[in-house]
Amino acid sequence: MKNLVRFFLVIAVSSALILIAISSLNSSQGYSGGNTLTVYNWGDYIDPALIKKFEKETGIKVIYETFDSNEAMMTKIQQGGTTYDVAVPSEYTIDKMRHENLLIPLDYTKLPNLKNIDKRFMDLPFDPDNQYSVPYFWGTVGIVYNPSKLNGKKITSWNDLWAPDLKNEILLIDGAREVMGMGLNSLGYSLNDTNKEHLLEAKNKLDTLTPNVKAIVGDEIKMLMANEEASIGLVWSGDASEIMSENEHLDYVVPKEGSNLWFDNMVIPKTAKNIDGAQKFINFMLDPKVAAQNTEYVGYSTPNKAALKFLPKDVVNDKRFYPSPELTKKLEVYENLGKKNLAYYNELFLQFKMHRK
């Protein structure tokens, strides 16, 4: 009998120890809830000092993870097994996420700083009434280039990139819609085209750009362009602004055929465990001084109107990065084209990447 009691005691103690081990493993892997908050953002997209400031002000510990594409971010959230409290998708992905019931509506009583956002960035078609998302950064897609390495030649058109003397001179950001978009725009098609023949035509045209493409890369495009490893880069405007602050020989242009106007917004995914903390974090990022500090650090354009007065005049007056509403009206915002069409864009982009090998 004594042995039986000892046996059950050993089982009970070991189970308790296993449970403690699992729970401490979870917290060390960044599972939020309680007094932690898990933020899932693009790489190089926040001033780390602001995370520290938020932690100090609120006593909430931030676990910070990054992604490099909307597709990767959304797949991770769909798969479950994560506890992201705040994420920062772009517009067409926000539309997808709200339709797939992956987002929690925001509580505006907890977001007083929302008043600081310029009204032109609110209530956009991908999230009517901003039920699920609030603006973080915005910008365009364009070409950063080095005129001194191009004999002073100016780049104005997507088609300039196909010049035979640009062999191995182009870096492309690793984004399916951005690269396919360049192919589509260069042919005069819309960035939201779903005509299969047009999409295939765009991919075939991209294949002919291959000799000029040095590499398809992620955030390292900034370092490579600033170090003059290539003379042309397909980039998001904020990356161009950061590259140009490192190397003043470079310039940025939105090609004359048109391009993409994009918006990255903060959301609370269904995976959230600390909704109150998420609202606090979003409200913190909307503070004008915080937004200005973040803008100076990251280099992207802020939608926070009240933050503009804390930023250098030459930054906010630079029409390449703060284009006028008249110009932005001529650009296209990516639409949520539906699962099948988006999968086709991704498949063609993958084929283009394989074609290079």
Tell the smallest beta-carbon distance from residue 342 to ligand SPD (Å): 13
Tell the smallest beta-carbon distance from residue 94 to ligand SPD (Å): 11
Strand-pair partners of 181 = none
Tell the smallest beta-carbon distance from residue 236 to ligand SPD (Å): 5
Judged by CB under 6 A, the chain residues 272 through 311 that form the site for ligand SPD are: none
Tell the smallest beta-carbon distance from residue 220 to ligand SPD (Å): 11
Question: Is 108 annotated among the ligand-binding residues?
Answer: no
Distances (CA, A) of 232 to 50, 148, 194, 257, 341: 32, 11, 28, 18, 29
Judged by CB under 6 A, the chain residues 223 through 252 that form the site for ligand SPD are: 236
The piece of 39-47, 94-102, 119-127, 225-233 that touches ligand SPD (CB under 6 A) is 39-47
Q: Tell me how many degrees the CA angle 19-22-26 measures, rounded to the nearest 5.
A: 140
The reply on whether position 45 binds ligand SPD by CB under 6 A is yes
90 vs 295, which CB is nearer to ligand SPD? 90
The reply on whether position 126 binds ligand SPD by CB under 6 A is no
Strand-pair partners of 122 = none
Helix (H, G, I), strand (E, B) or coil at 119: helix
The piece of 3-11, 40-48, 249-257, 336-344 that touches ligand SPD (CB under 6 A) is 40-48
- Four-residue CA torsion sign, 155, 158, 163, 165: positive
43 vs 211, which CB is nearer to ligand SPD? 43
Question: Rounded to whole angstroms, how far apart are CA atoms 89 and 1?
Answer: 61
Helix segments in the chain, DSSP class H? 2-28, 48-58, 70-79, 91-99, 176-186, 196-207, 221-226, 237-246, 275-285, 288-298, 313-316, 325-329, 339-355
Question: Rounded to whole angstroms, how far apart are CA atoms 310 and 45?
Answer: 19
The answer to whether 174 and 235 are in contact (CB under 8 A) is no
- Four-residue CA torsion sign, 86, 87, 90, 91: negative
Token reading at 146: 């080095």
Tell the smallest beta-carbon distance from residue 80 to ligand SPD (Å): 24
The reply on whether position 133 binds ligand SPD by CB under 6 A is no
Tell the smallest beta-carbon distance from residue 184 to ligand SPD (Å): 15
Judged by CB under 6 A, the chain residues 62 through 101 that form the site for ligand SPD are: 90
39 vs 60, which CB is nearer to ligand SPD? 39
Of the chain, the end-to-end C-alpha distance in Å amounts to 71
The piece of 37-45, 99-107, 164-172, 202-210 that touches ligand SPD (CB under 6 A) is 37-45
Strands 133-145 and 261-267: antiparallel
- In Å, how far from its chain's centre is CA 226? 21
Tell the smallest beta-carbon distance from residue 44 to ligand SPD (Å): 4
The reply on whether position 264 binds ligand SPD by CB under 6 A is yes
137 vs 284, which CB is nearer to ligand SPD? 137
Kindly report the backbone phi and psi dihedral angles of residue 240, in degrees, each rounded to the nearest multiple of 5, phi listed first: -60, -45
The reply on whether position 44 binds ligand SPD by CB under 6 A is yes
34 vs 43, which CB is nearer to ligand SPD? 43
67 vs 145, which CB is nearer to ligand SPD? 67
Tell the smallest beta-carbon distance from residue 37 to ligand SPD (Å): 20
Helix (H, G, I), strand (E, B) or coil at 335: coil
Count of residues engaged in binding ligand SPD, rule: CB under 6 A: 9
CA-wise closest residue to 94 among 46, 61, 48, 138:
138
- Four-residue CA torsion sign, 212, 242, 247, 315: positive
- Residue reference for tokens 């394989």: 354
Please identify which residue in 65, 201, 219, 229 interacts with ligand SPD, judged by CB under 6 A.
219
Per CB under 6 A, residues contacting ligand SPD are 42-45, 90, 219, 236, 262, 264
